[in-house]
Each structure stands twice: as C-alpha cells, then as structure tokens.
Copies of this chain bind each other. A is one copy, B any other.
Amino acid sequence: MKATTCSDAAPFPAGTEPPMTPETIKVACSNCNLRELCMPVGLQPAELERIDEIVATRRKVKRREALFHNGERFTSLYAIRTGVFKTCITAEDGRDQVTGFQMAGEIIGLDGIVSEHHTCDAVALEDSEVCVMPFDRIEELSREVTALQRHVHKIMSREIVREHGVMLLLGSMRAEERLAVFLLNLVQRLHARGFSQSELVLRMTREEIGSYLGLKLETVSRTLSKFVEDGIVAVQQRHVRIVDADKLKRIVNPPAC
C-alpha cells in the first residue's frame, strides 16, 4: 500500500481554475478547496467576493528554494497551497533552529510584521505553491470585513499558542516524548487534510527534525529505531507507518498513576 502524502494524489483536486501561465496567476479564494483551512468560515457572499481581492498572485517555490529570507523586506503573508515549508532562524554564531514545518492551508510570514522585515528563512521542502497576500491589502480589507479581522487575529494567536507548546516540548520533554509529539502532530495535521491517520512521508531530513526538536540527528535516528524495535512504528527511509498509535500516545501521556 502506498502511503498518501501531501504531494501525492491530493484528496482535493489540485487546481480549481483552467490552466494559465505559471507565474502571477489571478486566483480566487472563494472557490479554493483549501478555503476552510485558511479563510474564515460563515462569510456573506458579498464578503467572500471581497476576500478574493486579498490574493494578489500565486508563486511557485521549488524544493530547497526560499520563499523569503531573514532580513528581507516584509510585504506579504503567504498561504500555502501545495507543498511543505520549514521556517528557521540563524543565530550569530551560525547555529540554526527550525521554528516550524508548515503545510497546505497554513500561513507563513507573520514574523515579519513587527519590524517590516522577515526574521527567519522560509524554505520549501518540496516543490510548492503559495498564495501571495500583500499585508497592506489584508489590513485594509480587515477594517471593513469584521470576520477577516477576527480571522487574522486568530491566526496570529494560534501561532503563539503553538509556540507555547513547542516551548513545553523543548523545555521539559525527553527525546522519545519529543519525537512522539512530533509524529502525532504531523499525522493529525495530515489527517485534517484528508490523508491517512497512520501513514506519512517525512518531507524533512533527520537533521531538520532534530533542529526543530532540540536534538541531534543521531538521537532522532536512534529514537526512531527504538520505536521500530518496540513495534510502535514502521520506518522505511522517510516513509513512516504508525503501527500502534496507542503506544505512541502513551509515550506522551503515560497512564495516570
């Protein structure tokens, strides 16, 4: 059985408009099949029409290419249409830290608002496509469409809450717990996008996983191997099948005493 992943046969058809020239395509959120992931729900038809004004263009980003770089001027937020990204910051001494992995329907670029410049790199882990949403347009429209204003606030708040969770993970969990949390989170997000609950393809290297989880790549590899020994997952390179989800959850939440 072939693992379904974000880039393999998507549960939603990939395109909703007829074929066009690759760059600077005019697009509409109103009939985008990812709408329920990245846009507010319960909009009036008139509002929905206005929301379409937000997305200026789409942009394709090839594997290993950056959507934006640290230091670059901030102009837009990006909604991921297809593909997977990592965001990472780099310390002065060269150490870098993956701050997140983002997939279809998720928004990147929020870090740039405060200083008008991006403070991290966003790099595609596979060939990807994003909707470019100029931020001044978002601000303008969210003054008029209350639901959009609320939605923007929620997206930012959600990111803050997510990061709190990562801080808990990095601050107080052991390697096995970190990896278990990571796998469960990934598979849950993929499932929300119509993919398998038990199979996934890692789009990132062991080193990138390690960077995100505050571990060295060898520790990630060893911990995965231990999960395999314990019959919790089956691993073949980047293909992971969760064999015993309960055991995996018990690593995170040991049975109450």
List residues of A whose CB falls within 8 A of some B CB: 89, 91-93, 95, 97, 99, 110-115, 119-120, 139, 142-144, 146, 149-150, 152-161, 163-168, 170-172, 211-214, 253-254
User: Could you write out 29 A-B pairs with CB less than 8 Å apart?
Assistant: A89-B164, A89-B165, A89-B168, A91-B172, A93-B253, A93-B254, A97-B164, A97-B167, A97-B172, A111-B157, A111-B164, A113-B154, A113-B156, A114-B154, A114-B155, A114-B161, A119-B161, A120-B164, A142-B149, A143-B143, A152-B153, A156-B156, A160-B160, A163-B164, A170-B214, A171-B211, A171-B212, A172-B211, A172-B214
Instruction: Tell whether, in the assembled complex, residue A153 and residue B150 are in contact, meaning their CB atoms are under 8 Å apart.
Output: no
Given contacts A143-B143, A154-B113, is CB(A95)–CB(B164) below 8 Å? no
Question: In the bound complex, how far is the Cα of B99 from the Cα of A166, in angstroms?
Answer: 10
In the assembled complex, the CB of A178 is this many whole angstroms from the nearest CB of chain B, namely 10
Task: Across the interface, name the chain B residue whose C-beta is closest to A159.
Answer: B160
Which are the 6 A-B pairs with shortest beta-carbon distances?
Answer: A113-B157, A170-B170, A171-B214, A114-B157, A163-B163, A156-B156
Hey, which chain B residues are within 8 Å of A97, CB to CB? 164, 167-168, 171-172
What B residues does A115 contact at CB under 8 A?
A: 161
Whether the Cβ atoms of A99 and B167 lie closer than 8 Å is yes
Q: How far is the CB of A214 from chain B (nearest CB, A)?
A: 4
Question: Roughly how many angstroms separate A253 CA and B111 CA in the complex, as a whole number?
Answer: 23
Given contacts A160-B163, A170-B170, 17 further A-B contacts (CB under 8 A): A89-B165, A89-B168, A91-B172, A92-B253, A97-B168, A112-B157, A113-B153, A113-B156, A114-B157, A114-B158, A114-B160, A114-B161, A143-B146, A156-B156, A170-B171, A171-B214, A172-B214
